[in-house]
């Protein structure tokens, strides 16, 4: 079953001189229900712009986004979003941050408490739920942001470099935790990363975007059984192929300079 259909998305921006930069050029792909899809591409190629369009935070110039065969537009609420920058409210506890979306949606207090309690247990935040953000680690903050996105039961979970800005050991641990939660919830995940090893380790499928104006230039079905071993021959093979595609794109960008 197809959960998400991205159809011919076009997006351009104008600068102060009214010059136009064409960022997304006919981006088209589908995502199956429960699939873990990663998107890779050169820096500045429009990955975040694409995610914001899918999440209803930004309007495309052309094209459509369909979830469960229903077209969605600006300000829809069917996607949970984990931002690249830490986004917890510093004046709210972990628990209060997690329940924020439920409050906005008008979910009754008893139901809010039940859902927040369950998600806190699922992502491993029991014991720190009453701490403020400055009292927890970066990894715990990422878990709280994941919980805040999942507690509203979104159709799709989008992560824009959601595990960046962490040390390598914490990042590897949270990759495994992210997968554990995904396997429990069977959410449909769109995961943007600059880390090829991370994408191969976590994904069912990987799409690669070109430099702007961005198109989808490659697709990889990651045919490796789970749980995976990061240093396995299979992972290294996919990594080598994907890095070569990205290297070629980088060379193209440098020739333009």
Q: Give 256: exposed, middle or buried? Use CB within 10 Å, 0-12, 13-18, 19+.
A: exposed
> Do residues 32 and 3 make contact, with C-beta atoms less than 8 angstroms apart?
yes
Residue 21: give its domain's CATH number: 3.40.50.300
Last residue of a domain, one of 132, 153, 174: 153
Q: Are 83 and 165 in contact (CB under 8 A)?
A: no
Structural domain of 176: 2-78+158-256
Nearest C-alpha neighbor of 228 from the set 192, 207, 195, 199: 199
pLDDT of residue 254: 72
Do 13 and 120 lie in a common domain?
no
Separation CA 152–CA 100 (nearest Å)? 10
Residues 148 and 98 sit within 8 Å (Cβ to Cβ) = yes
- Do both 112 and 170 map to the same domain? no
| Ranges of H-type helices in 151-220 | 168-185, 196-202
Residue 89's SS3 state is: coil
Q: Do the Cβ atoms of 79 and 191 come closer than 8 Å?
A: no
**Is residue 20 located within the same domain as residue 68?**
yes
CB atoms within 10 A of CB 225: 6
138: number of Cβ within 10 Å? 14
Same domain? 132 vs 182:
no
Same-domain pairing of 62 and 185 = yes
pLDDT at 44: 87
Same domain, residue pair 28 and 110: no
Residue with token string 């998400």: 4
Task: State pTM to two decimals.
Answer: 0.92
Q: What is the pLDDT of residues 151-172, one digit of tens each?
A: 988 989 999 988 887 888 989 9
Same domain, 218 and 124: no
Q: What pLDDT sits at residue 227?
A: 92
Among candidate residues 122, 153, 184, the one where a domain is terminated: 153
**Is the domain of 103 the same as that of 119?**
yes
For residues 146 and 200, state if they share a domain. Answer: no
Using an 8 Å Cβ cutoff, are 72 and 56 in contact? yes
pLDDT (tens digit, 9 = 90+) per residue, 67-116? 999 999 998 989 999 988 788 999 999 999 999 989 988 899 999 999 99
Residues of the chain predicted below pLDDT 50:
none
Question: Residue 5: CB partners within 8 Å, gap ≥ 6?
Answer: 30, 31, 64, 65, 66, 67, 69
User: How large is the angle between the packed helices 168-185 and 109-123, nearest 10 degrees?
Assistant: 130
User: Is 74 in the same domain as 28?
Assistant: yes
> Sign (positive/negative) of CA torsion 245, 57, 152, 165?
positive
Question: How confident is the model at residue 165, as a pLDDT?
Answer: 76
Number of domains composing the chain: 2
Angle ∠(151,157,160) on CA atoms, nearest 5: 120
Question: What is d(CA 65, CA 88) in angstroms, rounded to the nearest whole number?
Answer: 28
205 and 103 within one domain: no
Helix (H, G, I), strand (E, B) or coil at 222: coil
Q: Are 228 and 178 within one domain?
A: yes
């Amino acid at each position: 079953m197809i959960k998400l259909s991205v159809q011919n998305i076009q997006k351009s921006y104008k600068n102060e001189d009214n010059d136009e930069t064409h960022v997304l050029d006919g981006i088209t792909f589908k995502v199956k229900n429960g699939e873990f899809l990663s998107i890779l591409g050169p820096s500045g190629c429009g990955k975040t712009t694409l995610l914001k369009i899918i999440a209803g935070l930004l309007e495309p110039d052309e094209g459509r986004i369909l979830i469960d065969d229903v077209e969605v537009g600006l300000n829809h609420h069917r996607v949970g979003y984990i931002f690249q920058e830490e986004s917890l409210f510093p004046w709210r506890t972990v628990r209060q941050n997690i329940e924020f979306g439920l409050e906005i949606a008008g979910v009754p207090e008893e139901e809010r408490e039940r859902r927040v309690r369950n998600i806190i247990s699922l992502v491993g935040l029991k014991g720190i739920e009453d701490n403020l953000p400055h009292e927890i680690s970066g990894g715990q903050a990422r878990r709280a942001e994941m919980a805040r996105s999942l507690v509203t039961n979104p159709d799709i979970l989008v992560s824009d470099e959601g595990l960046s800005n962490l040390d390598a050991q914490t990042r590897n641990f949270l990759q495994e935790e992210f997968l554990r939660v995904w396997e429990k919830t069977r959410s449909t995940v769109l995961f943007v990363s600059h880390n090829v090893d991370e994408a191969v380790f976590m994904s069912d499928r990987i799409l690669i975007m070109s430099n702007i104006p961005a198109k989808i230039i490659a697709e990889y079905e990651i045919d490796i059984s789970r749980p995976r071993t990061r240093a396995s021959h299979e992972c290294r093979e996919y990594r080598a192929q994907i890095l070569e595609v990205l290297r070629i794109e980088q060379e193209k960008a440098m020739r333009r300079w």
